[in-house]
Each structure stands twice: as structure tokens, then as C-alpha cells.
């Protein structure tokens, strides 16, 4: 793959990641504390990624990777919610939090 096609691929990944960023802009859902916790953590991580891009401590490629991981977590959350009428079980919440913890550490390490 030549440099031009690599640049195009990176641009497409970044564009998709930026578009998926709107998925994270969710409000609290009354009566769903586990869902709210996961959504708030995803939103917080999106803010951290955006701040890293703004202050130059994170590259576009790093941000795209982290946003892809967050989008995967959001998809898993949606699938888990669909199984239980919009709720998450404690185990599903633990699994999602574990994934968020891993991505959060990765974001931290990239920025420092």
C-alpha cells in the first residue's frame, strides 16, 4: 500500500470514528442507573480523546483507535440492553466497565 492510499484509509477511519462520536452524546435514562454509568463513562472518554487531539498529546490515528474501541463498547452495551428491555445486568455492566477501564488506561498512556 502506498503512502497516498494509507492516508485515504486513515482519513476514512477517522471520519467513521468522528461520526460514531455522536453515538456517545446520550442523556441519562431514568430508572437505568447501570446504563447511565456506562453511557457517562463513554462520554467522559470521548471528551478526553477530544481534549488530547486539541492539545496535541494524541494523534488522529490514536484517537481513531480509541474511538473505535469506545464504539465497540457502545455496540455491546446496546446488544446487552436489547436482551433485557433496556436494562443491563450486573455482569454485563462489569464486563463493559472492564473494557472501559482498559481503554481508559490506554488513553491515559497515550496522553502522557
Q: Quick one: which of 56, 61, 68, 71 has its CA closest to 111?
A: 56
Burial class from Cβ neighbours inside 10 Å (0-12, 13-18, 19+) for residue 97 reads middle
The predicted model scores a pTM of: 0.71
State pLDDT tens for residues 8-60.
544 545 555 444 444 445 567 788 899 999 999 999 999 999 999 999 999 99
State pLDDT tens for residues 90-103.
999 999 999 999 99
CA distance 96 to 24: 14
Write the CB contacts of 81 (distance below 8 Å, at least 6 apart in sequence).
35, 87, 88
Amino acid at each position: 500500500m502506498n503512502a497516498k492510499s494509507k492516508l485515504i484509509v486513515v482519513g476514512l477511519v477517522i471520519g467513521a470514528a468522528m461520526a460514531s462520536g455522536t453515538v456517545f452524546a446520550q442523556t441519562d435514562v431514568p430508572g437505568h442507573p447501570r446504563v447511565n454509568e456506562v453511557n457517562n463513562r463513554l462520554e467522559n472518554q470521548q471528551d478526553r480523546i477530544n481534549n488530547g487531539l486539541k492539545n496535541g498529546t494524541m494523534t488522529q490515528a490514536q484517537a481513531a483507535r480509541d474511538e473505535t474501541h469506545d464504539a465497540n463498547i457502545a455496540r455491546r452495551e446496546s446488544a446487552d440492553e436489547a436482551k433485557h428491555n433496556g436494562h443491563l445486568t450486573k455482569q454485563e455492566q462489569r464486563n463493559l466497565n472492564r473494557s472501559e477501564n482498559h481503554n481508559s488506561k490506554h488513553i491515559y498512556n497515550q496522553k502522557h
